[in-house]
Amino acid sequence: MAFLSKEQIESMGFNSVGENTLLSDKASYYNCKNIDIGNNTRIDDFCVLSAGEGGIKIGSYVHIAIGVSLIGNEIITVKDFAGLSSRVSIYSSNDDYSGEYMTNPMIPSEFTNVTHGAVSIGKHVIVGSGSVILPNVILEDGVAVGALSLVTKDCGAFGVYIGTPAEKIKERSKSLLNLERLLNKSLNE
């Protein structure tokens, strides 16, 4: 996998990009002026980051695996230590599928009924491969979403969620918070 050079990243017009950040040269970045990326973050091949007016804000120590899509008009936030597995799709805008309206971005807005809403992915969240997260959803800190899940509503902190639609099946361990403290301590020595 090849990553963009610091010079290439600077020329793309991102709002901000941190240190030690690896951005694939095979990913697509749209409306870069509305994209912020923290330190020690990696974005792999074939990802699509398409920032709307709300923008995309990605924290530090984040991994966005191959083929992930972050798309929509409202803000999408991915906080520190989060991981999005391959083919995860996060939408802050979504068409109305009822048949009462037309769909797709080429149709004038008066004929559509698009839902727009912020999406927030908390610290230490992991989202399994092939999962979809729809607008107006908050995954609180420590949430784990199983592969191939459809997340349509908020998920409480340190819960494990699976299914279509995703439902909580159990609590997730908080041991990783001790590891975060150790990491931060080692970085400050």
Q: Is the pTM of this model over 0.95?
A: yes
| Domains of the chain with bracketed CATH | 6-187 (2.160.10.10)
| Per-residue pLDDT, 1 | 82
| Per-residue pLDDT, 79 | 98
Question: Tokens 């949430």 belong to which residue?
Answer: 143
112, two tokens: 């559509």
SS3 assignment, position 22: strand
173, two tokens: 């361990």
93 in Cβ contact with 50 (< 8 Å): no
Q: What is the pLDDT of residues 4-32, one digit of tens each?
A: 999 999 999 999 999 999 999 999 999 99
Average model confidence (pLDDT) across the chain:
97
Q: What is the pLDDT of residues 78-126, one digit of tens each?
A: 999 999 999 999 999 999 999 999 999 999 999 999 999 999 999 999 9
81, two tokens: 């230590």
How far is Cα 18 from Cα 41, in angstroms, rounded to an integer? 8
Confidence check: pLDDT of 189 > 90: no
Query: How far apart, in Å, do the first and last CA atoms of the chain sit?
Result: 32
